[in-house]
Amino acid sequence: MNARIDDYTTRGTIPMASPANGPSYGSARFGDDQRRHALTPRQKEVLQLAAEGCTDQEIARTLFIRTRTATSHMTDIFDKLGVNCRTAAVANAIRRGII
């Protein structure tokens, strides 16, 4: 099953089966791993601008944020995508269909 789950769908806890309906496993956070690696809408904006060749300073000016915030967004994007440079982040995002 290849359903796409957006960030807003996966925020709550989804209860597992109750004893009346079968074995009980407590409750589980649905999509914890996916959410941990999913980019926020703002991170997607930052990554799109990086893909267009913008520097952190240009990203900051465009999005009305501090340069340090743009840099932090890029660092978080690198962590989530498992890369260590802008080029790899953009290539990875294009390959995954994120941008």
Amino acid at 14: I
pLDDT tens digit string along 40-78?
A: 999 999 999 999 999 999 999 999 999 999 999 999 999
Distance CA 24, CA 5 (A): 25
Q: Where are the domains of the chain?
A: 1-38, 39-96
Q: What is the pTM of this model?
A: 0.65
Q: DSSP string of 29-65?
A: ETTHHHHHHSPPHHHHHHHHHHHTT--HHHHHHHHT-
7: which DSSP letter?
T
* Residue 38 buriedness (CB in 10 A; 0-12 / 13-18 / 19+): middle
Q: How confident is the model at residue 33 (pLDDT cuts 50, 70, 90)?
A: low
For the record, the structure tokens of 53 come out as 């060749």
Q: Which CATH fold would you assign to the domain 39-96? A: Arc Repressor Mutant, subunit A (1.10.10)
